[in-house]
Every structure is written in structure tokens, then in C-alpha cells.
A = this chain, B = another copy of it.
Amino acid sequence: MKSMSVRDFQLDTACPDTRLLVEHVTSKWGVLVLLTLDDQTMRWSELKRAIVGVSEKMLIQTLQTLEADGLVRRDAHPVVPPHVEYSLTNDGREAAALLAPLVFWAQQHVSATPA
């Protein structure tokens, strides 16, 4: 597969809305939430455990931001105690599929670079 160069895309890197969405998707915790939720539905406590190092505050904030962007779906089941599940929307899965090669590249790059 030949990778595309930046010139193959019509990118408007000055567009504020595009910048903001890129910031949400590529934020430290945004990346990890999207990759962790790919292909699975998780409860809040499972997500919290799976994403090593995230604080409650940052996880709540990141989930709310990604939900507002239409990338994460929040399902609250009306039971006692409350049962809330998170999953990716179709758009969220698209974002995760684009992020994964980037994180994989970083992983390879880090292990190839002398500390």
C-alpha cells in the first residue's frame, strides 16, 4: 500500500472547527478512550481501569467532549444502581481506525530510538 502524501489531501489547516476536532481526537486521553472503546462497549469503571493513569475528572471530561462531537455513545440504563455504558459511534470507529496506525508508528519509533 502506497501511503498518501500530505499534498494528496485538500487540507485547510487554518479552519478553527477542524483544528478543534483534531484536538479532541488527538488529546492525550481522547486517543486512549477511542482506542480502548474500539470494538467494545464498556462501563465507566471498566474504562477507568483500562486507561492507566487517567483521573476521574479527565475521564468524565474526555467522554463528554467526545460524546458532544458525536464520536462516543453513552447509554444509561434506567436500573438501580444506574448502569451506564460507553461505546463508539460509526464516526468514532473511523477516528479510532485512523489513530491506531499513528500510535503504532509512535510505538515503533520509540523502541527504535536510543533513550
Residues on A facing B (Cβ under 8 Å): 1, 3-15, 17-19, 21-23, 25-28, 31-32, 35-36, 38-39, 51-53, 70, 91, 94-107, 109-110, 113
Kindly report which residue of chain B lies nearest to residue A34, judged by CB atoms.
B6
A11 to chain B, nearest CB (A): 6
Kindly report which residue of chain B lies nearest to residue A50, judged by CB atoms.
B13
CB pair B104–A9 under 8 Å, yes or no, is yes
19 A-B contacts (beta carbon < 8 Å): A3-B98, A5-B39, A8-B100, A9-B103, A9-B104, A11-B103, A11-B104, A13-B31, A13-B35, A14-B52, A14-B53, A18-B107, A21-B106, A22-B103, A22-B106, A23-B28, A26-B26, A26-B102, A94-B105
